Amino acid sequence: MYKKVKQYAINNGFTVEEKNGLIYGRMNGFFFSIYQDPATMAKHTVHLWVKEDKITAIPSIPDFLNQCTSKHQYLQSASYSGTKVTAEFQGIGFKWQKEYTPCLDAFLQEFTSFCRSNGLVSCCESCSSGLGLSLYQIGGVEHMLCSSCYSNTADSLQRKAAEASKKGNGNMVGGIVGALLGSVLGVIVWVLIYQLGYISGIAGLVMIICSLKGYEMLGGHLSKAGVIISCIISIIMVLVAEQVCVAIEIFNVYKDYYEISFFDAFRSVPSFLEEPDLKAAVIGDIIMGYILMAVGAWGTIRQAYKSTSGGTKARMVASVTSASPADDN
């Protein structure tokens, strides 16, 4: 969990479930949850469950959320289903760490005071009842439900979550294209570093990260299959990159003496590799590339596996309101 958000939660007396990536608590009397994306620390989903009671909210809840989205830098989107608010935060740019948590806090403060001044009330996400509400985590998503809705919907929500995680492999063709494009970026960086005379293996790190990101961007979701595909593509593209580097060298040396094209040089690389010195240098580059690739990929791969496994459980997290209005203060 991102440490600044965790610290913010602790300072404000919210409950932190680090293992489940979950924070919850109350602000201005309204219950909310913050879910930490398992794959990146700069992404959080905030939920609140409210509905209008007796008076009409001014501005309307969706209008107010729109105002929030345009005002708060890291609030990427906010929507309202009629009972549930979903606000997606993502830190973008180099300096996001500085203002990210204050931005999250400002949104929560602002939205809960809006709820209070418009007399909104907490409600079940499914039937909008206000009694016997609890927070549940079903398939890695937070839901606030009354006990009867939970027993009715848990099964179908769980089934939906199971389907969604299967669909995770979803757009594999898109993912492969994304991984290839990402790895081409890695090849370019590799060649540039080689040209500058540094150890081009450094680019192995760039290669694997771009490839995994590329898969995620065009494939929609980084599944286990996606991780394996991205790794295989990167492993191959390291060899391509190194061959391009050697070919450029050969081409630059021989172009003045012979009429050769870059592709002739590229094809001739294997025969040049019989030269022991060059061979040792090339193998050194490649090994360094693979080591750095493993370093760069480790965190992402671990998290991708974490987020796709065991994501369909349903559990009650906390009780939010009591079953009868009399003892609910």
Residue type, 35: Y
In angstroms, what CA-CA distances link 183 with 177, 233, 259? 10, 7, 31
Cβ neighbours for 18, distance < 8 A, ≥ 6 positions apart: 1, 6
Indicate left, alpha or beta for 118 from its phi (over 0: left) and psi (-120 to 50: alpha): alpha
Q: Within 13 Å and on the Cβ side, how many CA atoms surround 235?
A: 7
In angstroms, give the least distance from the CB of 152 to Zn ion: 8
Measured from the CB atom, the residue of 147 and 171 that comes closer to Zn ion is 147
In angstroms, give the least distance from the CB of 109 to Zn ion: 28
Query: Of these, 124, 205, 247, 292, which contacts Zn ion (CB under 5 A)?
Result: 124
- Binding piece for Zn ion, criterion CB under 5 A, among 30-38, 89-97, 118-126, 243-251: 118-126
Query: Of these, 127, 228, 253, 323, which contacts Zn ion (CB under 5 A)?
Result: 127
Residue 65 as a binder of Zn ion (CB under 5 A): the answer is: no
Residue 146 as a binder of Zn ion (CB under 5 A): the answer is: yes
CA angle 156, 311, 148 (to 5 degrees): 35
Please check whether residue 85 is in contact with residue 69, taking contact to mean a CB–CB distance below 8 angstroms. Answer: no
Measured from the CB atom, the residue of 123 and 212 that comes closer to Zn ion is 123
Length reported for the chain: 329
Query: Of these, 9, 85, 149, 231, which contacts Zn ion (CB under 5 A)?
Result: 149
Residue 300 as a binder of Zn ion (CB under 5 A): the answer is: no
Give a three-class secondary structure readout of 210-256.
HHHHHHHHHHCCCCHHHHHHHHHHHHHHHHHHHHHHHHHHHHHHHCC
Measured from the CB atom, the residue of 58 and 127 that comes closer to Zn ion is 127
Distance CA 102, CA 86 (A): 18
Measured from the CB atom, the residue of 100 and 150 that comes closer to Zn ion is 150
Tokens of 316: 């009650």
- Binding piece for Zn ion, criterion CB under 5 A, among 148-156, 166-174, 218-226, 304-312: 148-156
Measured from the CB atom, the residue of 129 and 171 that comes closer to Zn ion is 129
Residue 138 as a binder of Zn ion (CB under 5 A): the answer is: no
In angstroms, give the least distance from the CB of 26 to Zn ion: 20
Residue 126 as a binder of Zn ion (CB under 5 A): the answer is: yes
Measured from the CB atom, the residue of 90 and 129 that comes closer to Zn ion is 129
Binding site for Zn ion (CB under 5 A): 124, 126-127, 129, 146, 149
